[in-house]
Chain A
Amino acid sequence: MNRRRFFHCAGSVAALAAAAGCIGSDGLGGDPDDADDETDDGIDDDRQVTPDLPEIEDPPDAVYVPTHREAMRMLEPIEAGEYTLAPMLSYPHPFWLVDGRETERVDPDGGPAVHLMFSLWDDETGIVLPVDAGAQIRVEQNGQQVGSPRTPWPMISQEMGFHFGDNVPLDGDGTYTVEVTLPPIGVRKTGALEDRFTETETATFEFTYDEDFRQEVIGGIDYLDEEHWGERGAIEPMEHGHGAHGDDEHGDHHGDGDDDHGDHDDHHGDGDDDHGDHDDHHGDGDDDHGDHDDHSDHGHVPYSSLPPAEDYSGTLLGEPETGDATLVISLLEGDTRLTDGTEPYLLVSPRTPYNRVPLADMALSATIDRDGEELATFDLEQTLDDEYDLHYGAETGLDDAELEPGDTVTITVESPPQVSRHRGYETAFLEMPAVEVEIPEEVSE
């Protein structure tokens, strides 16, 4: 299903020198016609709008370490009603749409464009809002609309976590105004979020697209040590505020790709240590970046990190993995504010390994069995809560029956997260077999 509209420079470090040769006069390679189209748009022909990124052949069917950290320009966060929105801009790059259980690769077309992203959080709780309500963006230059309005994709990336983004074509160099419209959030909301996010809000920001910008974001790409490429693992969430790596030492990587890889990893302080602990992530994924849990720090752009398993109240039934996602499964007994009735609430919180990014737009259902006999089966509803954040939940629906130790709870992934993926997430969370957990002897109240 991978449709490639342009030739890609297949990659390994050794291929990078050759890769330089695959950059056409328009910086993309493979489509000399484009160069002609672009001659009168005020951008000189040698400009490069897209870096020629190496490809990892045969990545694992799991979260994996990409070849680089993306560089981006962070704009000032903007307040819009109850929300704050942090716009980020990078070079246009491939990403993957999800089509059922398959992915569809989207490649930039080589014209002037940015990868436009924003993350959106609730001012009050600091929670990054990982749900698709159909935000819209309209881009203007000198009062003229550029292209049609668009609804950016909900996306996940290792660096930015959950955000909205798209490759947005531009009319060439210049200053652009972007208007973002945020419609009310329609999914089930509970706790302090229950009556929130009911108004449409708008936010406007400006950015300049020019050679400086391109050099900053393309030159700022931080290649990781090749030995880690494609390894199971993930790069750490970006340090917001230090997102744009303007360092010049990266600017020449196309020319001498071979040398600039040996010495990169620790330039930014976070290059190396986000690799040391990859192999045991599944075991201790919880404490490797405790500082990202601090949602309420307003000076900072929060990262969409779910609480670690032990922070969920109720009885933790397990943290099984499926499709490389972790499903934190908890049973909230009795009188929880998450239900109307008296039945226990089954809460399932799927997240990426390592960075604990919430996995939105899934469909999950649960089945409860006792001694091989089915007691109940029910759908879980995607829910946004101020304490538990994004999760899928429902009352257990056992009517008068009580759960007993030894009963099994099977969580079936009817459809995997349909959110789009940045590199390193596109092969994971697709095939997600059902997982089973058991009701333990002691159920905590």
Chain B
Amino acid sequence: MSLPDRTGLSRREYLRAVVAVGGASALSACVAENGETDVPGGTDDPDSLPSRQHAWNDALSTDDDGNVQLPEHHVLLALSLVEDGAPTDEDRETVETSLRTLERAYEWSNEGLVFTIGYTPAYFDRVGSLATETVDLPEPTALTTREDPEPDDFDALLHLASDHAEVVLRAEEALFGDVADVNGVDVDADLSSIFERLDDQRRTGFVGPGLPADHTDTSGVPEEVPEDAPFFMGFRSGFRANQATEDRATITEGPFEGGTTQHVSSMDIQLETWFTQDSHRQRIAKMFSPEHVDEELVGEIGERLSTSSGVTDERIEATAEDARTRGVVGHAQKAARAREDGQPLLLRRDFNTVDGDRPGLHFLSLQREIEEFVRVREAMTGSDLAGNGVGGVLNNGILQYIFVNRRGNYLVPPRSLRALPPGDPA
């Protein structure tokens, strides 16, 4: 990919586009645009960092209501092992050193960098299967009748996230040995002898108030995307009360205790229908619940909600009845039917994308077991509701607007096992 033409783009749009391109030229374009950003440095003491790779919440900033705020820029690097066969201890050391370089270079925060590395079922097939009953890592499959997803069948996925475009770009360069130092820290080891990046699988994205509306030049992104919306579909998401806690998403026993499972699905979003055909009332009913419309709970983009989506036990319980008596059900109310003991099962860290020059979402969620994801996704699909007041997709939450292209399942091991874990770490 070549660098975007600077003319006609806002600063933010340009930086987003540069992140999408990646590589040395992107990094210099970013620095030229912004100047060198003053980014807080990391730590030389690895023990000061959490033992869970996915322990981001305490390190991330919060919004005015106290909800965790994901970093603005995201990159997902698809990695394929260079050598056949099981990795050696030396390989492990190289990977660990390389990842530690990033931790020394950048503060573990929005301002700095947070990241995880997860491994696919294909990886474990290669290095020796997961020999533990405490983790089940199935191959990704189609989860609805409306999709035929490509599986993520490479080996590993690195998720890099920062508020600064320059940081995600430079971190990637450092990991692959394309820069000599990173935020003042020498790069002594890199991943290039171990992993190959699959460029056609490089995924990027952004999340935060105002970012989606910057992309109305992209085909398929209508002018009507609200100015301050953090997500393409126009509403805030990720309220504290509607996310699994990190504890709830963490594996609690066995060799991978402290790890988590990750599901990543990449989808197109049909925003023209959503914004230029549906009314705001319909959008609220389809996203939250019909009662959210009656009670005017949401506002334009969810500004009336604070730390909860307002999907109460009563509104969850009313889902089937809403289908019958209102002819519509909301996505959030439907998905919440899968809560256990009143607790959400998924910790969602999804972000918007314009990869492929069209609007989409990289849906990334963490949960203790992939099977929990599958259950929530079934609740969201709501095939039990189809024919009972709503259609298979018509008025059945937001199904009509999303088109899944890929799915991937990952084990995100605890930090101590993050470098090329064996299938049976005794």
The smallest C-beta distance from A338 to any residue of chain B, in angstroms, reads: 15
Contact of A3 among B279, B359, B403 (CB under 8 A): B279
The smallest C-beta distance from A108 to any residue of chain B, in angstroms, reads: 10
- Tier of interface size on chain A: 35 or more
Q: State whether A414 and B325 are in contact (beta carbons under 8 Å apart), knowing that A131-B391, A147-B220 are contacts in the complex.
A: yes
Which stretch in A77-85, A96-104, A310-318 binds the other chain? A96-104
B389: interface (CB < 8 Å): yes
CA A416 to CA B278, docked complex, whole Å: 18
CA A379 to CA B321, docked complex, whole Å: 11
Contact of A183 among B145, B276, B279, B394 (CB under 8 A): B145
Complex contact B270–A148 (CB within 8 A): yes
Which stretch in B94-102, B118-126, B345-353, B380-388 binds the other chain? B380-388
* Chain B neighbourhood of A146, CB < 8 A: 219
Complex contact A148–B386 (CB within 8 A): no
Q: Quick one: which of B377-402 are within 8 Å of A by CB?
A: 383, 386-395, 399-401
B330: interface (CB < 8 Å): no
Complex contact B279–A418 (CB within 8 A): no
The smallest C-beta distance from B155 to any residue of chain A, in angstroms, reads: 29
The smallest C-beta distance from A410 to any residue of chain B, in angstroms, reads: 16
The smallest C-beta distance from A355 to any residue of chain B, in angstroms, reads: 21
B248-286 vs A, CB cutoff 8 Å, 1 = contact: the mask equals 000000000000000000001111110011110110010
CA A103 to CA B132, docked complex, whole Å: 55
CA A381 to CA B323, docked complex, whole Å: 13
Specify which of A1, A169, A362, A415 lies most central, judged by the most chain B CB atoms within 10 Å of its CB: A415
A95-128 vs B, CB cutoff 8 Å, 1 = contact: the mask equals 0011110001010010000000000000000000
B151: interface (CB < 8 Å): no
The smallest C-beta distance from B14 to any residue of chain A, in angstroms, reads: 23
Q: State whether A99 and B279 are in contact (beta carbons under 8 Å apart), knowing that A131-B391, A200-B145 are contacts in the complex.
A: yes
Complex contact A382–B388 (CB within 8 A): yes
* Chain A neighbourhood of B383, CB < 8 A: 186
* Chain A neighbourhood of B328, CB < 8 A: 99-100, 418
* Chain B neighbourhood of A363, CB < 8 A: 323-325, 327, 388-389
Complex contact A186–B392 (CB within 8 A): yes
Contact of A415 among B270, B276, B324 (CB under 8 A): B324
A153: interface (CB < 8 Å): yes
* Chain A neighbourhood of B285, CB < 8 A: 99
Nearest chain A residue, comparing its CB with the CB of B219: A147
Nearest chain A residue, comparing its CB with the CB of B276: A109
B66-78 vs A, CB cutoff 8 Å, 1 = contact: the mask equals 0000000000000
B146: interface (CB < 8 Å): yes
A187: interface (CB < 8 Å): yes
B42: interface (CB < 8 Å): no
Q: State whether A133 and B325 are in contact (beta carbons under 8 Å apart), knowing that A99-B282, A148-B403, A166-B273 are contacts in the complex.
A: no
The smallest C-beta distance from B227 to any residue of chain A, in angstroms, reads: 18
Complex contact A418–B391 (CB within 8 A): yes
A298: interface (CB < 8 Å): no
A289: interface (CB < 8 Å): no
A219: interface (CB < 8 Å): no
A149: interface (CB < 8 Å): yes
* Chain B neighbourhood of A365, CB < 8 A: 324
Q: State whether A418 and B358 are in contact (beta carbons under 8 Å apart), knowing that A148-B268, A148-B270 are contacts in the complex.
A: no
The smallest C-beta distance from A269 to any residue of chain B, in angstroms, reads: 36
A302-324 vs B, CB cutoff 8 Å, 1 = contact: the mask equals 00000000000000000000000
B290: interface (CB < 8 Å): yes
Contact of B387 among A97, A149, A382 (CB under 8 A): A382
A132: interface (CB < 8 Å): yes
Nearest chain A residue, comparing its CB with the CB of B277: A106
A130-169 vs B, CB cutoff 8 Å, 1 = contact: the mask equals 0111101000000001111111011000000000001001
* Chain A neighbourhood of B282, CB < 8 A: 97, 99, 104
A196: interface (CB < 8 Å): no
* Chain B neighbourhood of A379, CB < 8 A: 324, 388
* Chain B neighbourhood of A145, CB < 8 A: 358
CA A396 to CA B278, docked complex, whole Å: 38
A188: interface (CB < 8 Å): yes
Q: State whether A134 and B270 are in contact (beta carbons under 8 Å apart), knowing that A183-B145, A381-B387, A415-B327 are contacts in the complex.
A: no
A-B contact pairs, 19 of them (CB 8 A): A5-B276, A100-B328, A104-B279, A109-B276, A131-B392, A132-B394, A134-B399, A149-B403, A151-B399, A154-B391, A169-B272, A183-B392, A186-B145, A186-B392, A188-B387, A361-B390, A415-B326, A415-B327, A418-B390
In the complex, besides A148-B358, A361-B390, 9 extra interface pairs with C-beta distance below 8 angstroms are A109-B276, A134-B146, A188-B387, A200-B148, A361-B394, A361-B395, A414-B325, A415-B326, A418-B394
